Structure 1
């Protein structure tokens, strides 16, 4: 008996159904084009000459890299990039370590009030960040953390979303496997490091990438807590740099600075997109 053939795409479908699929793809393509045009125009503008700043052509008449050289000469972009990279790496490492440990405890330990604690952690996700800025600022000011890197870091050393994500994945690990390790004499730290963490690598990779992207793009809180130009992060530095420009043609320099700020994320996502999608999909299934 011959096995049935698999039908891909629109092959073998009725004409009306093929037409409907084509219309859907066309609508999606238009939506993608509308979404990508401002981004592509920003990147293209960063390579234009000043007189072409308001030209909506995606391909500049004349390519120039002078804009990228100029922004490093007019502002300490290199220092801002270093600040952002260091703060993002520290905050990401903190989130991964603390959230992984917290997720393991909430998933595999039984103690009074565990469900209530988890509920309170999840409820913080419904609080807008803007409502937390004033309490954060008062805490930073009272502790002398204003205009310091620690003042930038302390609100993000633990993530409620990360705890939720890791708890969901840790909950899928068979408890019998962990009990067998305890019988063999492993303490909880070794169980976490050698058994639990290797089984939840997709979640850890996802949390790492999302945390890094969030910290790299963080703007509102660093803008409020930092006052010294040398301590600015890249998003804050770009806004400060744009406020200092008087000539409208210098929008080209702003486009170049913004393109630099998103370049690491453009590189990061394609490399790890499979892990990101897999981690988010599995967390949703759980």
Structure 2
């Protein structure tokens, strides 16, 4: 997975961001992404996710923190259900076109879903710390987008819901692994197969939220988290996040070996810096 932006690739234009229902503001080391389709309760489309992937590919190299939020008092109502109509969303492919009569190629559809997943995967990059600032409902794809982030800071009115099974679908936007990693298989089954709302306090108790605050305090709480991350050495933060990300899949022996390698790298870099300062 790429860990640095490609300076030769232009970022999405304001017009492209607008068509995708996204806002983007980059100020120094902080990028703020806003889901902005208030007329559809911030529901997202394929274009939203492919544009999110493009944002990830073109972020300036000095960005360290990415904050994802929704416009207004809702994070996201999830996928725009018009994607499942034969006509699809205006200007985008229908996700079901040709499936009923067999004219669609399942491999092509699987490839398209892989493209959409790229809009979620880059949020796990070790060189970034990603924060979901959640107000109101985060349903389906919105829940999965929040799960893609390193930290979830919730307003006390936030509610998570994995709606896909109730619609005859499965969660396919990278959300099943982090959900199981956080709450375990049995609780994940219960949350997904009942499609119930998980309120902010329960989300905190389950480990799905790092912090819950009154809605009016959410911006300040996010800013405090951003400031704390930026106060940490960038290279150490990157190495530490990489270690933590691989830990669930490593044995203890593999993980402590990874720790040794990472620490040798950090000590080497620190020693080189000290030598340069004395030169």
Fold shared, TM-score > 0.5 on shorter chain = no
The structure whose RCO (Cα within 8 Å, separation 6+) is larger is 1
Q: Which structure shows the bigger proportion of residues in helix conformation?
A: 1
Q: Which structure shows the bigger proportion of residues in strand conformation?
A: 2
When the two structures are superposed, what TM-score results if normalisation uses the length of structure 2? 0.24
When the two structures are superposed, what TM-score results if normalisation uses the length of structure 1? 0.24
